[in-house]
Chain A
Amino acid sequence: MNVKLNRRSFLKMAGIASGTALLAACAAPVAAPGDEPMAEDYIVNHWTWLSASDAEVWGAHIDNFNEAHAGLGIQIERLEVSSNEYKTKVLAAAATGQAPDFGWADAGERADFIADGVMIPVEEHLAEAGLDWSDFTALSVAKGRYPQFNNQLYHMPLDAMTWQLEINLDHVEEVGLDPDSPPTNNDELLEWSKALSVQEGDTVVRSGFLMTGSGLHVAFIWGLVAHQMGFRITNDELTEVCVNPDAAKEAAQWTLDLFDVHKVATRDVSDRYKAFGTGEGSMFLTGPWTLNGYIEQGLNFAVEFTPNIGGELATRLSVGSQEMYIQEDESRYARSAEALTWLSDESFLWTTQGRGAACRQSILDREDYKEHRWEYRQPFVEGMEFATFIPPKLKAAPDFKYYTSPNLVHRIIDPVWQGDKSVDEGVDELCAAWEELLAAE
């Protein structure tokens, strides 16, 4: 051993360093360089789980608020929390009285949080802060109400997102299809998918109709088609699950056939965004948050309405919104409402360059609303007319959704796409599981 370290100085150093580090760490847990807000400013804490290019626009929106309120004694502090642990961390923070003031959510999909008592109704607080509720589109407000909680409104809508069909125009041109008459029904969709697919031997190397091989996206396609075919996850009264299960089975078979019979999709896709962006897929059902990325990347694509595959035209609606969390100091609500009102009044930037359609009639009516990248945004905005496919507002909503992080639906249905389970088995099993969840509500 030729380690030349003076023992005494080493030990002394080690002792002092670790002692002080530990002491400093324990004594002043959150004291840290770089987070010293101006002493007089009232800080509204906002948590968000946005993470893609839309997160940057949202950040700019918050920055605009802070700039507009510089010296006015109120500032918003934005914190990005991973969507994976968002709920746990909000619950944990609320349990210790440190919940953020407001945060991102999909309106109508938070019955569990309300039952936990971490959210408060927002209608009155915001009205008192001067928010003009009559200016909101009826659809967006309706989505934030919960019948089982006195029909109270728990969300302030910011943008309405629909799912529509993005088509790679390079591929369309390559195979000689007419980009001006995109597919509108099942037959046309299949025809286009087949024309756009590329096979090498028996394997599909370019999906005419892009789907992931498992997980949320393929489940979503199935769910949407099932909905169009007349399947309902629950009835309107939320008393019964799986209305018309045969439609769900028919839709599952339709989805499987895309993989195996028509061979217009490969299962070997897990990152759907990358796959469409790199030309591994030609038609992609997705939402408006993808636009910025693809446009900036220079992808040659168009957006068309979701085709009517199942007989009853419908697509998924998701309303991006803010929810307010419970505070020990109730006086905080008024200041948060003040901030939220501004964020809604000034949401032009967010609903043109961010994502989704405005939920304020006054913004939708503005002349310049249809300027920024309108040819891409138009189908997402106008498609709201038939965006009727929404998850039920149950406490167990996370397990009743298709388009979400891994959940019960994916666990039960994924084996169907992999061929390990029959369509009937999968749907029946899922319905039984949902039945149980509904009984436990």
Chain B
Amino acid sequence: MVARLKLVMGAQGRLTVGRVLLWIIGLWLAYMWILPFVWMVSTSFKLPGEVMTQTIEWIPRTWTLDNYRVVFQKPIVRWLWNSMVVTTSITLASIMLGAAAGYALARMNFPGRNVFFMMLLLSLMIPTEMTIVPRFIAFLRLRATDSYAALILPPIAEVFSVYLFRQFFLSLPRELEEAAAMDGASRFRIFRVIALPLARATTIAAAVLLFTTNWNAFLWPLLITFSEEMKTLPIGMAAFAPVTMNRTQIESYAPGMAAMTILGVPSLIVFLFLQRYFMEGVISTGIKG
């Protein structure tokens, strides 16, 4: 009995009441943790009239796609496209810029290195929101509001990315690179052929972090986009929030949950497929202070 329980739990070592409890509580918590998503999906298939019920109904009484029809009246394919373009560009650009700058800061000797690094450290503490008014004004003056440039350019200089890569390259033993240098390899070749490939885990971790952060970016896209065509997915979908100022949607939560399902489920699926790379990437790199 005990042996079987141990097998089911995948537990090693001594089996105590504590560990069995821990196992049960942990699984229960994980289950609770995803219930909001289940509730979201369930509500999205309910008839708007059957949403406000006095008892909890996890399964819709009547299944309907009407809510999705309401949501698809908005140009959400366009918003999805915008989000993809914007987020992918920012992620790739800030990884490349971050890897190069991080490598130089970790490995190369040049005047200004410490000043650069100090600037980075300080700016980590600056809330990016502080730069929003000036950025807004700048893009206004350049007549470049409501454009991809306005959505993509400001966030590409991501300090966190430089920081991650610098920490990683510092932790890397120098011997490999020194040997290559002896063989006459140029600095760029060393960076490209030796250092970067070793940083694959850091790259993936950074990519996932940057991607999720930018995919979810809210305030800046909210302000800088004007037309429906330029909105990103989170901004467009925020129109389904029942809390707007003057004239609210009286039409209950069902379409809102349909919108949120469309918005949330794709990223959950992508994450499901990439999670192994990501978890291992994060765990095996320097994001631990």
Q: Tell me whether A25 and B243 are in contact in the complex, defined as CB-CB below 8 angstroms, given that A15-B96, A18-B96, A297-B250 are known contacts.
A: no
- Interface size range on A against B: 35 or more
Type the 1/0 row for A95-124, where 1 means its CB is closer than 8 Å to any CB of B: 111100000000000000000000000000
Which one of B88, B141, B148, B280 has the highest number of Cβ atoms from chain A below 10 Å of its Cβ? Answer: B148
Q: Tell me the interface secondary structure of chain B in the complex.
A: helix
Check A3 against B201 for contact (C-beta < 8 Å).
Answer: yes
Of all chain B residues, which has the CB nearest A299?
A: B250
Q: What residues of chain B lie closer than 8 Å to A22, measured between beta carbons? A: 89, 93, 152
Contact of B197 among A7, A15, A32 (CB under 8 A): A7
Complex Cα distance, B143 from A95, in Å, reads: 9
The verdict on B158 contacting chain A, using a C-beta distance below 8 Å, is: no
- Interface size range on B against A: 35 or more
Check A271 against B242 for contact (C-beta < 8 Å).
Answer: yes
Check A34 against B244 for contact (C-beta < 8 Å).
Answer: no
**Interface-side segment among B4-12, B101-109, B165-173, B224-232:** B224-232
Check B228 against A79 for contact (C-beta < 8 Å).
Answer: yes
The verdict on B275 contacting chain A, using a C-beta distance below 8 Å, is: no
The verdict on B132 contacting chain A, using a C-beta distance below 8 Å, is: no
Q: What residues of chain A lie closer than 8 Å to B228, measured between beta carbons? A: 79-80
The verdict on A386 contacting chain B, using a C-beta distance below 8 Å, is: no
Check A25 against B89 for contact (C-beta < 8 Å).
Answer: yes
Check A18 against B92 for contact (C-beta < 8 Å).
Answer: yes
Complex Cα distance, B200 from A24, in Å, reads: 27
Q: What residues of chain B lie closer than 8 Å to A24, measured between beta carbons? A: 148
Of all chain B residues, which has the CB nearest A88?
A: B223
The verdict on A300 contacting chain B, using a C-beta distance below 8 Å, is: no
The verdict on A39 contacting chain B, using a C-beta distance below 8 Å, is: no
The verdict on B222 contacting chain A, using a C-beta distance below 8 Å, is: yes
Check B249 against A52 for contact (C-beta < 8 Å).
Answer: yes
Check B226 against A81 for contact (C-beta < 8 Å).
Answer: yes
Q: Tell me whether A35 and B229 are in contact in the complex, defined as CB-CB below 8 angstroms, given that A1-B284, A51-B244, A271-B248 are known contacts.
A: yes
CB distance from B44 to the nearest CB of A (A): 18
Contact of A25 among B149, B200, B250 (CB under 8 A): B149
Complex Cα distance, B227 from A93, in Å, reads: 11
Check B239 against A96 for contact (C-beta < 8 Å).
Answer: no
Check A277 against B250 for contact (C-beta < 8 Å).
Answer: yes
Complex Cα distance, B151 from A48, in Å, reads: 23
The verdict on A26 contacting chain B, using a C-beta distance below 8 Å, is: yes
Q: Tell me whether A404 and B246 are in contact in the complex, defined as CB-CB below 8 angstroms, given that A1-B200, A34-B229, A80-B228 are known contacts.
A: yes
Check B52 against A29 for contact (C-beta < 8 Å).
Answer: no
Q: What residues of chain A lie closer than 8 Å to B52, measured between beta carbons? A: 278
The verdict on A294 contacting chain B, using a C-beta distance below 8 Å, is: yes
CB distance from B276 to the nearest CB of A (A): 9
Check A32 against B229 for contact (C-beta < 8 Å).
Answer: yes
Instruction: Provide 18 A-B residue pairs closer than 8 Å at the C-beta atoms, listed in order of the A residue.
Output: A7-B196, A14-B96, A17-B92, A18-B96, A21-B88, A21-B92, A25-B147, A26-B148, A29-B144, A33-B78, A92-B136, A92-B140, A271-B248, A274-B242, A290-B250, A293-B251, A297-B49, A404-B246
By a beta-carbon cutoff of 8 Å, the part of chain B in contact with chain A is 49, 52, 75, 78, 81, 85-86, 88-89, 92-93, 95-96, 136, 140-141, 143-153, 192, 196-197, 200-201, 204, 222-223, 226-230, 239, 242-252, 277, 280-281, 284
By a beta-carbon cutoff of 8 Å, the part of chain A in contact with chain B is 1, 3, 5, 7, 11, 14-15, 17-18, 21-22, 24-26, 29-30, 32-35, 50-54, 79-85, 88-89, 92-93, 95-98, 216, 270-271, 273-274, 277-278, 289-290, 293-294, 297-298, 403-405
